[in-house]
Amino acid sequence: MADIVFRNAMVHDGLGSAPSVQDVAIQGGLIQAMGPGLKVHSARSVDCAGLALMPGIIDSHTHFDAQITWDSSLRPSPALGVTTAVIGNCGFAIAPCKPAHRDITMRNLTQVEGMSLSVLQQGIDWGFETFPEYLALLRRKGSVANIAAYIGHSSVRTYVMGPDAAERAASTDEIEQMAQIVRQAMRAGAVGLASSTSPAHNGEGGKPMPSRLASDAEHMALIQAMGEAGKGVYMVTKGGHMPVPFLEDMSAQSGRPVMIAALLHNNTNPRAVFNDLDAIAAANARGRKLIGQVSCCPLSMDFTLLSPYPVEGLQAWQSALGKSGDALKAVLGSAEFRNAVRAELAAPATFRLFNGEWDQLHITEAASDTYRALEQKPFGQLAASLGKDPLDLMLDIALQEDLHTVFTAMLLNSNEEAVAQMLNHPHSIVSLSDAGAHLTFFNDAGFGLHLMGHWARERAAMSLPEAVRQLTSVPAGILGLQGRGRLAPGYAADLLVFDPATVGRGPKQRVNDLPGGAPRLTTAAVGVHSVWVNGQQVADAQGLLAAAPAAGQLITEFTA
């Protein structure tokens, strides 16, 4: 007797095997049996004729750390086929956190992750201080999807150093205190340690996120503490001064995998991402375990100059960070500031979000009737037609609209031939949804549906079985997720039922369902028929079930 039997499904096992029509029986949240025409009775039967059945998507790069404390549904990810989400990426976690540092933590997230301070203040449940206490809170609250959590470097640094964490290098004693917190987190069930050295990652007032102040010795000490028990993944969003050879040395000395983000294609430096992937491949050939996190989505972002995330990594923009009101407007209006930004954009760079590709920028929403007619027009062409420099035009319009003009920039990954190569690289992992962050800027939570619909079906850049493998068994294997990421007897019944002919993600839309009625961007699933977590249905063709059960498990045990 089974709880549920999925009948006549085109089964994708998650290993890249050719699909075949089978029945799949579920009992007690696990796959009980598989095969054509199963002779098994069940309390419920789901007819999947003409549909595909695959393991649920494993999203290895999310930022639900704050949202999960007020929203156990993790909107919108489960409705988009995600059954397991990994939080704490880039080290931007909320645990550990002393009560005295909560305001610092929230204000940093408003900047680096594009979150509303009011939403965080109203929403976060601070019923914890240490990382083990945070996991205990998550276990009590439950969640619709399975969760695994990194211990975050910036959070650990702030816990030990307070406001100094974003100001200076750590002492030997402070590094040892951090290492002890990492050891404690790993014993409690962290999936690993996450960090960032990216120049695009700034906290309040434009100060670097704390992990960016860490010395090489600090990074090395913490990965060694993480790996002492022979488990754990080190995840880092690296800056230019953190080369792949140093990360290879970290992997060698700790004996643990290193997951490197964010590998995105840049039209103005087209070889840079492939140089990193080649270096990762060479390290793997020497017996190390390095993986590059790549995205299957073009990185586009909505922003205003009140919170201009795409340009905050520019050195010339630092004089504007931390300013507001008339002081900010004075900087943006100054010729000295504008000339410095122009000069920096004209110079070659290894990585930056915005590269002065002005035809990749447009006004999405003018704040006044004066500029309404300019919406959706490529900015470079628009500036040329008006006889103006595009930077001056952008800043002038924004200033005249009190900095409320909404711009959209296509920042990276716009060259599809290059992205296809990245997706098929043997040492990459398809990731970087950033779900739970940048809520008003962009939403790539549907990355898995986009991989299957756009890249597998429409562009034939890979087969559908390979796309499924990339989203399931590949991240499960790297992260050490036991009993997940494939369809086989004894494995968790994390399942996605979909129509291969239509699967994809819908257009983005703005909804107002954050604490206090604040807005966020979301997207709907296309071609998804149902999503199941540990044998319980959480979504159907209309989206998340109104009474979606907290079927997810907090994952704290991992294979080596």
Could you tell me if 212 and 251 lie in one domain? Answer: yes
Backbone phi and psi for residue 177, each to the nearest 5 degrees, phi listed first: -60, -40
Could you tell me if 231 and 248 lie in one domain? Answer: yes
Could you tell me if 83 and 154 lie in one domain? Answer: yes
Model pLDDT, residue 200: 84
Model pLDDT, residue 86: 98
Model pLDDT, residue 411: 86
Could you tell me if 425 and 384 lie in one domain? Answer: no
Examine the pLDDT at 362 and tell me if it is beyond 90. yes
pTM of the model: 0.92
325-333 and 335-346 helices, crossing angle to 10°? 60
Confidence of residue 505 (pLDDT cuts 50, 70, 90): very high
Model pLDDT, residue 370: 96
Residues 6+ apart with CB under 8 A from 556: 135, 148, 188, 189, 190
- State how far the Cα of 114 lies from the Cα of 103, in Å rounded to an integer: 15
Q: With respect to residue 21, please indicate whether it lies within any of the assigned structural domains.
A: no
Q: With respect to residue 383, please indicate whether it lies within any of the assigned structural domains.
A: yes
Q: Name which of 205-209, 221-225, 234-238, 526-530 the model is least confident about.
A: 205-209
Interval 258-270 mean pLDDT: 93
Model pLDDT, residue 220: 98
Confidence of residue 348 (pLDDT cuts 50, 70, 90): confident
- State how far the Cα of 117 lies from the Cα of 120, in Å rounded to an integer: 5
DSSP alpha helix (H) spans, 39-98: none
Q: Which domain holds residue 331?
A: 301-412
Each residue's pLDDT tens digit, 421-436:
999 999 999 999 999 9
Q: With respect to residue 556, please indicate whether it lies within any of the assigned structural domains.
A: no
Examine the pLDDT at 88 and tell me if it is beyond 90. yes
CA distances (Å), origin 547, targets 40, 217, 258, 272, 515: 29, 49, 38, 46, 19
Give how many domains the chain has, as a whole number: 2
Q: With respect to residue 462, please indicate whether it lies within any of the assigned structural domains.
A: yes
Could you tell me if 213 and 275 lie in one domain? Answer: yes
Q: With respect to residue 36, please indicate whether it lies within any of the assigned structural domains.
A: no
Could you tell me if 197 and 250 lie in one domain? Answer: yes
Length of the chain: 560
Could you tell me if 200 and 287 lie in one domain? Answer: yes
Q: Name which of 110-114, 177-181, 249-253, 539-543 the model is least confident about.
A: 110-114
Confidence of residue 471 (pLDDT cuts 50, 70, 90): very high
The count of C-alpha atoms lying within 13 angstroms of the C-alpha of 211, restricted to the half-sphere facing its C-beta, is 31
Interval 247-272 mean pLDDT: 95
Q: Name which of 19-28, 163-172, 198-207, 532-541 the model is least confident about.
A: 198-207
Strands 146-152 and 82-87: parallel
CB 456 within 8 A of CB 423: no
Q: With respect to residue 146, please indicate whether it lies within any of the assigned structural domains.
A: yes
Confidence of residue 300 (pLDDT cuts 50, 70, 90): confident
Model pLDDT, residue 268: 83
Model pLDDT, residue 534: 98
Could you tell me if 418 and 272 lie in one domain? Answer: yes
Q: Domain end: 374, 395, 412, which one?
A: 412
Model pLDDT, residue 113: 82
Could you tell me if 78 and 135 lie in one domain? Answer: yes
Q: Please report where in the chains the tokens 């995998």 appear, as a residue.
A: 257
Model pLDDT, residue 519: 87
Could you tell me if 368 and 261 lie in one domain? Answer: no
Could you tell me if 283 and 314 lie in one domain? Answer: no
Q: Domain end: 380, 412, 444, which one?
A: 412
CB 164 within 8 A of CB 177: no
Each residue's pLDDT tens digit, 47-56:
999 999 999 9
Mean pLDDT, the chain, whole residue set: 95
Q: Domain end: 444, 467, 483, which one?
A: 483
Model pLDDT, residue 15: 98
Q: Name which of 135-144, 188-197, 267-276, 546-555 the model is least confident about.
A: 267-276
Residue 454: count other Cβ atoms within 10 Å of its Cβ. 18
Examine the pLDDT at 301 and tell me if it is beyond 90. no
Each residue's pLDDT tens digit, 31-40:
999 999 999 9
Examine the pLDDT at 517 and tell me if it is beyond 80. yes
Could you tell me if 180 and 289 lie in one domain? Answer: yes
Examine the pLDDT at 313 and tell me if it is beyond 90. no
Confidence of residue 391 (pLDDT cuts 50, 70, 90): very high
Q: Hey, CA dihedral for 515, 148, 424, 13, is it positive or negative?
A: negative
Q: With respect to residue 233, please indicate whether it lies within any of the assigned structural domains.
A: yes
Q: With respect to residue 418, please indicate whether it lies within any of the assigned structural domains.
A: yes
Confidence of residue 101 (pLDDT cuts 50, 70, 90): very high
CATH number of the domain bearing residue 231:
3.20.20.140
End-to-end CA distance of the chain: 35
Confidence of residue 147 (pLDDT cuts 50, 70, 90): very high
Over pLDDT 90: what percentage of the chain? 89
Examine the pLDDT at 205 and tell me if it is beyond 90. no
CB 457 within 8 A of CB 463: no
